[in-house]
Chain A
């Protein structure tokens, strides 16, 4: 299958290695991977802040960028949820509504793409560590992704998957919420971060680099030992 990468803006700028790991996993499975360099951002920051006119312009542009793509795969539940769950609402009643619904049916978060769309569970990775998985809320509740990443991780050679005691609690990132209400955001990071730390795992793995930014940022500041990896990096054998 021909797969188009959807690289969210902060992956582009902050964690480019995650994008490279995604392409490595997909290519290893025999798919051809392309990156359309005209892509920028999905528009979620403006959408979540209530500035829907601004978000709409960015969304319409993103829909055009991915025109004709067979499958669009991104290493994030959040930005994929923006496209799949929110573009149709954002563009409802506009001439772009049909195109938004069409895009929604073609865009996938990495783990659900591998498991649900390709039917792959074992990607041939090895990662001999105790790991806990953090669910991003957009993936969990807008896309209903819960089992796919766990199926993939359980199939990784040597990997032991452990659940934390706050498995469905939010990390507190929430985009601009994290800086508009930093005290609440930080309190949430503390609750989730302590729960992750209690597992005593070697690694926290997540499908959302933004959650990782928040949790790793809080844990590092507060001296909690934890290494973080994106699920794409684990599956690609790139996690360090």
Chain B
């Protein structure tokens, strides 16, 4: 991945605008995604209601992440020491390039011929699959949603529900075409088709690659959460296990998981707990019946320390990647996951992508928000998501201001500072409303293309008020 650019090319912005434009026209897709989420809303609310206090649980989860992120300098070395005492090996990666190089070297050293992989957004962030394939290695995704996306040749649509946009009949057709299975409408049968295909691959694979949900400093364990059992097989069957994790995943104590694991499940998927929550503490030891011979952990920075150095937005590192903010976001639901053009979609992606990939090129994501705040309310670790969109807008306007916008806001300030001028400007707007409608003013046209705008009244409030005072006096 290239270093953050100092000035944006505008390419990402133009692509975002045109993809959003075409996506909103696909009302079938939009309502499918909305329908897909209705089950989530009701089960999430049911599970939230089982907490004695969801809001206090959010406080506790936020506190656990706050104390870990603010003591990363202390907890990361502690985690590494204990992880290595358990027999694991840690590899530090400053950048995506370094992380890919480390994995490629481990794969080469293991003389691997096949690789199986469980869900790992950090690997998406560093574009690992493409690097492995370019180097001639086959890699198969074992998470059902990721497996489907891999067959489709698409990145994840949503970082928790990778194929939420794909209809069941499309999956059936995909499996028929690629795996030779009989068409079916049953989700269970579709799952079994994928499972039958994957089972032998676990056995054959030399290397299993996984992500990590939490790194427990107290015990040196890697916590992985999943619903399908595929991560357990991915980690346990191959000779070598490589986990890839951002450095911000550290928590201090094993007890912290008592709040974080259920909240991750409830906020992210409307579950009381995810089906499988496993703690991995190093490779197989003497006398143990299963487990890999080697366990490696790639700890990735990739601009996370720069975010850590920003006191205003540091809390974005609390993110446990539950996806709750995407599920409630009207922007996500209306533009879809691919339009973002980022590894991490939705509100949290709009906040952190400028830090990962450069503000100038990616600030439009922070602009593409009504700032409704549904994301911040949904966040189980209380990240101030929508206010960070404002902070990104401010940082972008400061570091690379748009000349026309800057002039417009300076003019606005001048008018808003003089009540007489302000009243005059208002009067001019109201009197010339019909003429203005005919002028090629892009912003006004943008409104009028899809929405009516009522004709303004004869008199402003301040004029009405003066008349009233005149009558009363």
User: Which A residues have a C-beta under 8 Å from some C-beta of B?
Assistant: 7, 9, 11-17, 19-20, 35, 37-41, 43, 45-52, 54-55, 57-58, 61, 137-138, 140-142, 168-174, 176-189, 191, 213-214, 216-218, 220-221
Contacts and interface: CB of A to CB of B under 8 A. Distances in A.
Interface in B390-442: 390, 392-398, 401, 405-406, 409-410, 412-413, 415-419, 422, 426, 429-430
B57 to A, nearest CB: 19
Interface string B331-353: 10111000000000000000000
Given A16-B460, A170-B370, A218-B450, A57 B409 contact: no
A221 B24 CA distance: 17
A191 B444 CA distance: 22
A15 B452 CA distance: 15
A168 B374 contact: yes
B462 A137 contact: no
Contacts of A168: 374
B447 A184 contact: no
Contacts of A218: 450-452
Contacts, number: 193
B429 A13 contact: yes
A43 B108 CA distance: 59
A184 B460 contact: no
A14 B368 contact: no
Nearest to A16: B461
B321 interface: no
Contacts of A19: 461, 464-465
Given A168-B374, A184-B368, A50 B426 contact: no
B371 A174 contact: yes
B391 to A, nearest CB: 9
B465 A45 contact: no
A33 to B, nearest CB: 10
Task: Sort A-B residue pairs by CB-CB distance and give the 4 closest, nearest first.
Answer: A174-B370, A50-B397, A217-B451, A50-B393
A168 B378 CA distance: 12
A169 B327 CA distance: 12
A87 B21 CA distance: 34
A50 B394 CA distance: 4
B409 A221 contact: no
A144 B49 CA distance: 20
A183 B24 contact: yes
Interface string B360-395: 000000011111111011000000000000101111
